[in-house]
Structure 1
């Protein structure tokens, strides 16, 4: 009996390790929004800088993904995976010991981001190697469930630990799991070296610049402006660009140009039979692209809304990190339940496209309910129905979108498809925080300025209003709590009695605006889902 148990454990231990890998990466991402106020206070920083660290983390993962796949072709998936695990652990230790926000960004965004890239892309491919087609579906489900539970645990457990012991200890659970992962995946088969040609460093550089500059532009939009410059962008006292245009459109345009050159370079390398990061032909498969962009937009919405909830609820309801995590918890629980239920019950009776469309419809209804529930008198329980409906809809969608997306490519193209799919999800995550997070800050700042001016019975010019909004955005994103309190205390005495109601109502209106934009994105998702293939097909059939 003991020998049989050992044999069973030996059979399933690699899969358990891979599931724990996605659990840990999801924990790492979800714990930061839950403990953000503690980080800001301890490092004497601002919400804006910590938010930029989260966006930069997604940027690094998206930018490094194609090069990571190239390294895997050269050295094999397992060695690169284990190297990423070591790097991720080093980044976690450095993050927990960070004495300043600069070291926090380097440790968390750069080191953890580089380490996490192979940890995200490898489990799906390795599961396919370990299991037969009969058990692969359930193993892929386990990966999705592990990622959801990791996100849920990071928010709740991280918030609880931060509230009682400090934010640095909130990173300890993932650090304890890393050696266990290394032990469990030791028997994962080592894949044969796929190529002997030199690494495509030119393609890697172009992909990094393309994804990186685009995401960096998005992440800086709130601080520097989407088009006209809110403030100057300087490098060694050199103003870039040297005119009134913001640095943001220049970065995004340069990133898009780099991505275009990257695409042309990949086509040239493939035509000459040389090493390339991915098959550009994948980007011509319409079903693959439709599924890809639908999934990315959904990631944008869910990431942006959850991020804003972690900023909005503490400010309006005066919740600590643990209480905030509990308030948002129903979304993750409903997502988890819906994923499992859809996989084991619905897929046998309902077409996958119907499940995807039903999920997105429920998700849109949940966003509308959230919009209706947000007001000055709201309580945590008021948003519970909306979060449950949103979570259930998201779970139905997630249960099928990955399977549907990868069914559109041949099995030998799965690695390249993963190399495209994961960066686009990271791009969606970064855009969610960048766009919806910026909307929350910018709209709240504009509302506060306008209401204070009305309360004082004064009129100001458009230029003065713009300058006041820019100053307030900087205050919200870069000042500590005490510094913000001191800043607002310097406003005229006539407005002080009404200041707290003005701030709260402005934040509520800003949150409703960001949710309304999320609803627009969800409608775009519904439109795209209409073109998702009705049956599973491969690229050969397209």
Structure 2
């Protein structure tokens, strides 16, 4: 366990960790809001930008175990400051990226690695320095800070992208980073009790194992879950060299690597050597189920919001700023509810936290269903608002208690270890939300576009041939710019059909969005089932 060398966490120190979460949330949420501007400027595609966001979460989640190892050896505060510096460099390079490859390296890889200690440190410091009611308030304030970052990213970033350039959208986060660097001296110094060498072998195995699995999931939409939709090659070498998608290959490699990781950890524990993880909390059923419940909530909300940022510009013909204004009621409502819970519910004994959690999940499902029934070809921003508000109320109730209920089985000594598991799981949920729900939206929209064109032509295709055409269109949407897609369609679609493409596209996007919302509802049901296993009250309840 890490121990503090200072007596308490000062106000300036608390501002530092709160602004850190604000900054991370801002940059993650700003990318979907400015996506159309990036696609146009860098001559890229929505699919590439989606992959960059997935890769960011993948890198952050995969590097988390190694980060905890570094924190135990060098000290959390030192690693946190280094992460701030690297993160700032990554954001500067992101805003200056001349190509999509540069954007991938700077944002997904550089800031993804640097974000890992920046995400875990605030929660760990709050756990170590706050107890009882103070801990509840600290956690909820950090939640509000993160939510405000997401709100500001979509709104302010969309405004800057619409009126200036998408590159200016990252400027506010750099200003926040400079403030954090000024306040960093107020952060508590944590004594390092572990003097064992760093487990570099375990870190490499965990990173490669988790990274391979998550990368496989993120590539499923483009390359296929089993049968290959397209060939995956590196320097001309086709991988794998037989008729199988790269996705199961990557996932198999990841599982085998994680198996070696488990073997290595047991070997190190038996020899009392350097060990990356102390998996005591992973043996506690309540903690694991709480982590899974929270991860599913992140998957649902991230995936739905990501799809809305793709759906609204097409269906409502709005620019990035007005798109952000359309989606923002969810974030704003969630913040209001969390603040209300912070002020009233913890002070009252009339509410059972577990039942509040259940109510939140039920309202989240109700909001998704309200969104579903509100969708039609002439849908307006005002019609989307009720569903987003109901979702926001549900998420606000959920996030207010899920952390406390998850840690109910954890001792004080286990909380730092718990943060090293809990936070990466949230990043994994974010990655899966964009990968699964985002890919499904593209697939179902592609399917309905193909079927709509065939219907207008009065033709039918064999199932195998139809599947190939859908896969080809899906690949085009994910890899080509809008102008390139328009050019291809003009050359391939008969002139009599081209004037109808706009209406066919609208119907397909509307149908695809509805289907993705139904899938999100299914995940909500699973999330509710997991939540039924949690305790009624947090361990910190007095």
Normalising to structure 1: TM-score of the pair?
0.95
Does structure 2 conserve the Cα–Cα contact (< 8 Å) formed by 1:292 and 1:421?
yes
- Identify unmatched segments of 5+ residues in structure 1: 1-9
Does structure 1 conserve the Cα–Cα contact (< 8 Å) formed by 2:407 and 2:538?
no
> How far, CA to CA, are the matches of 1:388 and 1:235 in structure 2?
46
> How far, CA to CA, are the matches of 1:423 and 1:97 in structure 2?
28
1:97 aligns with 2:96: yes
1:373 aligns with 2:371: no
Give 1:6's aligned residue: none
- Identify unmatched segments of 5+ residues in structure 2: 1-8
> How far, CA to CA, are the matches of 2:23 and 2:275 in structure 1?
30
Question: Which range moved further: 474-483 or 409-418?
Answer: 474-483
The within-5 A match list for 1:371-520 is 371-490=372-491, 491-520=493-522
Q: What is the Cα deviation at residue 438 of structure 1?
A: 0.5
Deviations 1:159-204 (A, max 9, x none): 0011111000000000111111011121222111121111011111
Q: Provide the secondary structure at the position in 2 that maps to 1:493.
A: coil
Give 1:286's aligned residue: 285
Question: Which range moved further: 226-235 or 250-259?
Answer: 250-259
Q: What is the Cα deviation at residue 352 of structure 1?
A: 1.2
Give 2:358's aligned residue: 357
Give 1:7's aligned residue: none
Q: Provide the secondary structure at the position in 1 that maps to 2:155.
A: helix
> How far, CA to CA, are the matches of 2:207 and 2:244 in structure 1?
24
Does structure 1 conserve the Cα–Cα contact (< 8 Å) formed by 2:127 and 2:415?
no
Question: Which range moved further: 479-488 or 219-228?
Answer: 479-488
Deviations 1:440-477 (A, max 9, x none): 11111111111111211122222321221122112212
Give 2:86's aligned residue: 87
Deviations 1:77-117 (A, max 9, x none): 10000000000000000000000000000000011011111
> How far, CA to CA, are the matches of 2:262 and 2:305 in structure 1?
33
Does structure 2 conserve the Cα–Cα contact (< 8 Å) formed by 1:121 and 1:418?
yes
Question: Which range moved further: 263-272 or 526-535?
Answer: 263-272
Give 2:535's aligned residue: 533
Instruction: Count how many residue pairs are aligned between Structure 1 and Structure 2.
Output: 530
Give 1:118's aligned residue: 117
> How far, CA to CA, are the matches of 2:127 and 2:505 in structure 1?
52
Does structure 2 conserve the Cα–Cα contact (< 8 Å) formed by 1:267 and 1:279?
no
Q: Provide the secondary structure at the position in 2 that maps to 1:459.
A: coil
> How far, CA to CA, are the matches of 1:445 and 1:113 in structure 2?
31
Deviations 1:64-87 (A, max 9, x none): 000000000000010000000000
> How far, CA to CA, are the matches of 2:467 and 2:161 in structure 1?
37
> How far, CA to CA, are the matches of 2:535 and 2:256 in structure 1?
31
Moved runs in structure 1, 4+ residues, more than 3 A? 128-134, 535-538
Q: Provide the secondary structure at the position in 2 that maps to 1:385.
A: helix
Q: What is the Cα deviation at residue 132 of structure 1?
A: 5.0
Deviations 1:495-526 (A, max 9, x none): 12322111110111011010000000000011
Q: What is the Cα deviation at residue 346 of structure 1?
A: 2.1
Q: What is the Cα deviation at residue 534 of structure 1?
A: 2.0
Q: Provide the secondary structure at the position in 2 that maps to 1:226.
A: coil
Q: What is the Cα deviation at residue 265 of structure 1?
A: 2.8
1:338 aligns with 2:337: yes
Give 2:31's aligned residue: 32
> How far, CA to CA, are the matches of 1:282 and 1:253 in structure 2?
26
Give 2:168's aligned residue: 169
> How far, CA to CA, are the matches of 1:202 and 1:522 in structure 2?
38
> How far, CA to CA, are the matches of 1:423 and 1:461 in structure 2?
44
- Structure 1 pair 94–377 and aligned structure 2 pair: CA distance change class (3 A): same
